[in-house]
Amino acid sequence: MQTIRLMIGLGFLTFAAYIAYYMVEQYRQSSATGLARLWDAAHGSATKLWAKFVIIVAGITANLDGLADLLGAPELKTAIDAYVGNPKVVAGVMLVVSLVSIKARNRTA
């Protein structure tokens, strides 16, 4: 069971890292300045920009309990369980909502 949880957490983190890398690459390739570079990285859509940000946050959220274990802070893990519940479920919901938002935006563009 622990191996499956580890694989799911690493999957979330890998996907979030991929999205972050892609956004940084698009940002660097843009010839615009300031916020226009972010706009170019999101292909001209605030919805896509926000959804990609939420995917990155979901990757971090999915690994909160592992981070608490790594830091050796059982009180942090207890607080995470009390306030968030199961971080992997929360991250999964965030990921699905973001992917649906991106897909819906692609259909209307």
Q: Are 105 and 45 in contact (CB under 8 A)?
A: yes
Residues 38, 27: contact at Cβ < 8 Å?
yes
Domain that holds residue 44: 2-108
pTM: 0.77
Each residue's pLDDT, cut to its tens digit, for the chain (109 residues) gives 678 877 887 888 888 889 889 989 989 998 888 888 888 888 888 888 899 899 888 888 888 888 888 888 888 888 888 888 888 888 889 999 999 998 988 887 6
- What's the domain count of the chain? 1
Q: Token pair of 80, please?
A: 């995470």
Query: Which residue reads 């306030």 in tokens?
Result: 83
**What is the model's pLDDT at position 109?**
61
